[in-house]
Structure 1
Amino acid sequence: MKISKWHKAVVGLFSLLLVFSSTPAQAAVPQAPSFAKATLKVIVDNDFAVYLGNETNATRLFYQNDYVWMTQISNATTLDIYPQSGETYLYIAAMGGGGSETIGGNLNGIDIVSISGAQVASGRSPLGTGVVSGIYVTLQSYVANYNANSDVVWGPQNVTLAQIQAALTGATWSSATGGNTTSGVCCGSDATSAGLSGKGWLFPDSTMVVFRYPVSALSLPVNAGSRQVTVDWDAPAAGDAPTSYILQYKKTADADSAYTTFSTPSAGTTIDTVTGLTNGISYSFRVAGVNASGTGTYSVVRDATPLGPPPAPTALIATPLSSSAQIAFTDPISNGGATITNYEYSTNNGSSWQALSPTDITSPITLPGLTNGTTYAIKIRAVNSYGSGTASESVSVLAGLLSQITNLVVSNTPTKRLVTSLTVSLNVAGKATFLANGKRITGCIKVSSSGVSPNIVAACRWKPSVMGSNVISVQYVPTDNSYANGTFQSSALLVVPRTTKR
């Protein structure tokens, strides 16, 4: 039977398809890991705005609610709370439009009335146009065209970043983890149907008040602690599975080339804590999956700032003073995430500590109550609201003003039994005793100085009795007992024999 060209082509194509279908699929590197969404569910009767910032003020508008209070949660469920560089607090401006004003809700599943470290603006210095009312300072006067009866009631009242920053300049804060938090305070069935507790805060009619929450207390997927950050990621949702992960970090301010691998956990581990970080410095974190085909795409980058006591001051320089010492230093590289309020010092190499009183945060600082003539091993450490920071390296100081003896002048080559004048320069008046090879020189004991600063001297007429090497030393007692006693020792002087006879 004759086989056509067309038939041969079909047979060939079928054979080729068989070959391809029997070839195993090429493995691929893993897709990018992800981070769980940290949700915001807040109801405010009537309106609210959310910001992220630091201990001092808000720095970024995160969410401007434009919805009437009954639909606020359903319209905010797509929000994902994640801080950017240097953001350590989440701020909520709660606005009332008349009647019973309330706020309630959850941040990443945590009830706002029980978040550790939660605070409410309770004062302002200077008060300006703010009004103190109970536990609050009301701040709506800083919002241009604040319309309690219209825009606030129906949701579209906007509070710009500049307005909230002006309102919070000089704000003082009080705890917001207690108070009027009875169940049922906030929003009735609209709250409970959204999974909220119904607890909340009542605040004055037709006003704006501000709450803030440490992001470190919100259990975020990338969550900061003191000198560490816990990174909790999700495995890739699709694609070839990883057999391990790479967790990397860097200071946020550094280039991407600075990323350092902290750990390479196995595929069963999707959480790790990066340690050894500096409080108050923003860090960036990313994760990638790894399998036999290589390293996959890195996750989105998440930033976090460890918060806690400050790192150590550096470059201490001690200057003795009367009954005290002055310590100059370089400030810690960060404040730990909270304002430095004072310094503590140790005079015994860190065995015990005292706070400066009155407080002082500017170099140089003065350490009082020291004993003149006593040597101390000084360390200092900064203090913020989180506690006492890392201690500096030790620096030694001899307390009391130092008497200085310099520039021994010898009038002529020392010769046995001939007079040689010895003169030393001093920085303070007093009495000097001269010694040769450790023995007091006759007539040169407690010799009073002469002259005035900077030309104070003490002199001795020495008639050497021993030839050869002689070391001259001086013991000095200042008249002003604010100064410590001083000593001086020369290099060896060679006493030569007398060459002429009487």
Structure 2
Amino acid sequence: MPRTTYYFRAYATNATTTGYGEILNFSTTQPDTVPGSPTGVSAVAGNQQATVSFSAPASDGGSTILYYTASSSPGHIAGYGSGSPITVTGLTNEVAYTFTVTATNAIGTSTPSTASNEVTPNTTDPPTVTTSATVDPIGQLSATLNGDITATGGQNATQHGFAYGTSATLVTVIATTTGGAFSGTGAFTSSSARSISSLSCGTTYYYRAYASNDYGTGYGTIQNFETLACAESVPTVIVLAYDTVTQTSANLLTFT
């Protein structure tokens, strides 16, 4: 068998006895080959990168493994290392990737491993949000606000809306609207996020947009608007009595 050590000794026999020589040994050889494929490949995403872990192949092909290569699909973006794990950089955030790993010795490179799990690199930031100065319509007791998510931060928003109140710094708020999850970027469209009510007429309100994901909450700048003025009340005149009635006049007793 290849790569096996064998032991031997000579002997000779005559009519009287058998004689033996010294025990010696030798080992068979086998031409070196490329290594086997690495196994157990898995990946964890980061910001524009992924960390790829794996197990060494069962066989190095008879020649020491010089390095490993982790390659992405799509893109064939590669990272190199002498062992596990290998970090592959230069990936595009919000693009899904899988990875294979090869082993290289002096003879050549192994066939690729089975592909890893799929991962999507992303940043670890909350969404970027803009608060619009446009409030339309504005009523005496209600208003419709506007805002945008301009960057997801690497993950879609799980909640969005507005915080509003009468404090110019919004250190305290009257309420916070909740529009729910928001996919990608763009203007807020949910009425539950944009519409506020139970306001007071002729009052200045301050507001700012927000959006949250697993990495935190992003806020827009604080803007303000004023609700429409309160309607003027009309006095009520009540005639209580009258006297001194003539053909052309009367004296009325009134109360306002």
**TM-score normalised by the chain length of structure 1:** 0.26
Specify the structure having the higher radius of gyration (Cα): 2
**TM-score normalised by the chain length of structure 2:** 0.44
The structure showing larger relative contact order (alpha-carbon pairs under 8 Å, at least 6 residues apart) is 2
Higher helix share: 1
